[in-house]
Amino acid sequence: MSPKIPAPLSELAAQLGKLPGMGPKSAMRIVMTLLAWPEERTRLLGRSISELRDRLHVCSRCGGLATSEVCAVCADPERSQETLCLVADWDSMMTLDSGGFYRGQYLILGGLLNPLEHRDSGSLHIGRLERRLQEGVVKELIFALGVTVEADNTAVYLSDLMRAKYPGIGVSRLAQGIPLGGEVKHMDAETLRQSLKYRQRFSG
């Protein structure tokens, strides 16, 4: 008869097991690793996790994560205000920006249209997008949503919607260097740089 696992171990392993790609055995290995750490190191990790939501804010401009109301990207006076790159999530924004080749603004949509997952237009941050366009500074929208059916449907929907309301704004999308089914957050910097450099006018 195997020994009963103490509740603190099993409870933490159960929580870790809810993380993407984390199975029960992997979760328990992490728990045992944490037990082997010095106490202060373990407590520091615990504090970092418990303070995660308290210390982070959603940027009022782009919807990204920040430690203040406006993130460092949006607050940078050296960045162009005339191009607005639309991405699905914060991961994609970070991937694009880490290359240093795009020096405009971003807006995170909060996902893509996907009827199978009950994600309709109400789940996208369209209101935030419209507020940015109403400022009258943005001259070009760049769709950087990847090459999936959901990305295409989202881009078509938003481009039609924004063109009808703001006909003077140009709309483009990343060149097709990104493989079919690819997501921006999984692309390498050179592929993204070339796709952005040779972006194409979006016909919808």
Q: 16: pLDDT confidence band, cut at 50, 70 and 90? A: very high
pLDDT at 4 over 90: no
Q: Which residue has the tokens 């500074």?
A: 137
Provide the CATH number for the domain formed by 7-54 in this structure.
1.10.8.420
Domain boundaries, the chain: 7-54, 57-201
C-alpha 82, offset from chain centre: 21
Q: Does domain 57-201 sit in CATH 3.40.1360.10?
A: yes
Q: 29: pLDDT confidence band, cut at 50, 70 and 90? A: very high
Q: Three-state DSSP class for 114?
A: strand
Q: Output the CA torsion sign for 174, 180, 182, 188.
A: negative
What pTM does this model have?
A: 0.76
DSSP codes, 141-179: EEE---SSHHHHHHHHHHHHHHHHH-TTSEEEE--TTSP
Alpha-carbon distance of 49 to 199, in angstroms, equals: 39
pLDDT at 180 over 60: no
